[in-house]
Amino acid sequence: MAMASRLSPTSILNLPIPARNLPNHPHRIPLFSIPPPLGLHANSSFNSTTISRSKGRSSPPALGAVQEEVAQSPSSERTGNSEASPSSSSKLVLVIGGTGGVGQLVVASLLDRNIKSRLLLRDPEKATTLFGEHDEETLQVFKGDTRNPEDLDPSIFEGVTHVICCSGTTAFPSKRWEGDNTPERVDWEGVRNLISALPSSLKRIVLVSSVGVTKSNELPWSIMNLFGVLKYKKMGEDMLRNSGLPFTIIRPGRLTDGPYTSYDLNTLLKATAGKRRAVLLGQGDKLVGEVSRHVVAEACIQALDIECTEGQIFEVNSVEGEGPGSDQQKWRELFKAARAQ
């Protein structure tokens, strides 16, 4: 059985999202001001932030994928040391790249945990399509683009305690490169601009990078790096490592499982991890393999609060077997074991 429901790009693109002129300056977009997607309608008996779902309709795509994964995972119960995990009410997590494959799962998992979240999106209306309606005490949405330094207004970072950056694009030219969405602009300039704008009070930033960034001149990595994606990801890593901010870098292997947002071979084949929920963590850029997007998203969220991950870089793969699910203690043991290797 696959770990998650498969979500094709066309299922999102076909939803009727009304055109709207949004301000160019970074601006908070209340989700209740955005018309709900197909299958949702405002309930007049509640306040304006409340949305009821038509009978027979499923949850928003990203939330549904997370809920199905939690239901399937034998280790889905969340346990751990409460002293190591700030209460959800004290955290505000800014997610960059929240509409991408990993980003959707990160946001949905944060919402499932009742952790207050904030998104910076080029198209804020996608938030309602993917995650449904939420009031500002749960999910805040700002319009902006990390590729443009002028978009990163200080108001975006007010109150933010943690950041997860999982923005990215394809390694080779594709439709996703349209609009100057190249590796140099996204993986280097966007990450550089974000790091430069973050407040020093930040408790942790988790950056999603890639395996192979230290071996971009070696086969087979040199092929993947033909257009510079590994070089630019490594430049982003180095910028973060030298920033003085408390960081964790997650380097996933080849991403599997939906949501599918890439126009690459993985999308065409719809490769899945199936029962491969067991997690392999390593250091030194030695791991080679595949990893479920669900595992990457969970690793990012766990790294926010596990002390031994601060200032560290971890590669992550997933293999067949029972994994840690969302059990914090099991993740802590995995991270500690990787550091001891």
Q: Per-residue pLDDT tens for 145-189?
A: 999 999 999 999 999 999 999 999 999 999 999 999 999 999 999
Q: Residue 256: which pLDDT band, with cuts at 50, 70 and 90? A: confident
Chain segment 229-242, per-residue pLDDT in tens: 999 999 999 999 99
Query: Is 60 exceeded by the pLDDT of residue 61?
Result: no
> Is residue 44 included in any domain, yes or no?
yes
pLDDT, the chain, mean:
79
In angstroms, the CA 82 to CA 38 distance is 39
Q: What is the mean pLDDT of residues 209-223?
A: 95
> Is residue 198 included in any domain, yes or no?
yes
CATH number at residue 66: 3.40.50.720
- DSSP string spanning 258-320? S-----SHHHHHT---TTB-EEEEESSS---SEEEHHHHHHHHHHHTT-GGGTTEEEEEEEES
pTM: 0.77
> Is residue 3 included in any domain, yes or no?
no
Query: Is 50 exceeded by the pLDDT of residue 105?
Result: yes
Q: What is the mean pLDDT of residues 264-279?
A: 60
> Is residue 242 included in any domain, yes or no?
yes
In angstroms, the CA 182 to CA 227 distance is 9
Q: What pLDDT does residue 213 have? A: 97
> Is residue 284 included in any domain, yes or no?
yes
| C-beta of residue 198 within 8 angstroms of C-beta of residue 205 | yes
Q: What pLDDT does residue 4 have? A: 37
Per DSSP bridges, beta strands 40-42 and 51-53 are antiparallel
In angstroms, the CA 264 to CA 262 distance is 6
Total count of domains within the chain:
1
Could you tell me which residue, 126 or 302, shows the higher pLDDT? Answer: 302
> Is residue 63 included in any domain, yes or no?
yes
> Is residue 273 included in any domain, yes or no?
yes
Q: What pLDDT does residue 338 have? A: 97
Domain that holds residue 28: 9-15+23-340
> Is residue 77 included in any domain, yes or no?
yes
